[in-house]
């Protein structure tokens, strides 16, 4: 392997690690974003589902590029098309941001396995760990469909709660600082 290629790989790895940490929010950043939000994560799920004409499989509170905070949601409709819907976290206005084409086979399989909704998973997570939910997604836990819900705690940390998508049982909780 030549030196230029090694340098390119090293730079890519470095940017990947740096980029991942750029998305981590401090307690103060979360406090600012959530204090400006008038719409809950559960309400945003409903609005995104209506606007996208389908099922929300991923949603996250974002600072809105320093404008107004917004929820960014991925919605899969009955035709299997995936779209990104933005929900204004202050007004609740929801609109299509972009179409993403066909949903992946993994997403479709997880949707078929799920017996509870994303909104129900958020409610279950809040019973397990009170706070402010800021993100939720339909995911996979050892081959079984599950929901990952992130709940902001009063101390600014994030509690990650994994919920079985078929039974609604809490599979695990862990704090992420």
CA distance 56 to 83: 10
| Any domain includes 47 | yes
pTM for the full predicted model: 0.83
138 closest CA partner among 151, 153, 148 = 148
| Any domain includes 4 | no
Predicted pLDDT of residue 24: 61
> Tokens 């993403």 — which residue?
100
**Total of domains in the chain:** 1
pLDDT in tens, the chain (177 residues): 444 443 333 333 333 333 333 346 777 888 889 999 999 999 999 999 999 999 999 999 999 887 889 999 999 999 999 999 999 999 999 999 999 999 999 999 999 999 999 999 999 999 999 999 999 999 988 888 999 999 999 888 899 999 999 999 999 999 986
Which residue segment(s) compose the domain that 114 sits in?
A: 27-176
Predicted pLDDT of residue 177: 61
pLDDT in tens, 134-168: 999 999 888 889 999 999 998 888 999 999 999 99
Q: Which residues does 46 contact at the CB level (< 8 Å), separation at least 6?
A: 119
Predicted pLDDT of residue 91: 96
| Any domain includes 20 | no
- CATH number, position 111: 3.10.450.40
């Amino acid at each position: 392997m030549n030196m230029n290629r090694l340098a390119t790989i090293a730079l890519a790895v470095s940017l990947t690690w740096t980029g991942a940490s750029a998305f981590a929010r401090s307690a103060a950043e979360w406090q600012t974003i959530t204090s400006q939000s008038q719409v809950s994560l559960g309400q945003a799920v409903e609005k995104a589902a209506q606007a996208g004409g389908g099922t929300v499989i991923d949603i996250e509170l974002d600072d809105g590029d320093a404008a107004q905070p917004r929820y960014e949601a991925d919605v899969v409709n009955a035709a299997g098309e995936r779209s990104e819907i933005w929900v204004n976290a202050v007004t609740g206005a929801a609109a299509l941001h972009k179409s993403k084409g066909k949903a992946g086979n993994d997403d479709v399989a997880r949707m078929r396995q799920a017996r509870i909704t994303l909104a129900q998973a958020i409610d279950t997570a809040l019973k397990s760990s009170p706070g402010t939910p800021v993100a939720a997604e339909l995911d996979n836990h050892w081959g079984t469909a599950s929901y990952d819900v992130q709940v902001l705690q009063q101390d600014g940390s994030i509690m990650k709660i994994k919920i079985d998508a078929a039974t609604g049982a809490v599979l695990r909780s862990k704090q992420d600082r």
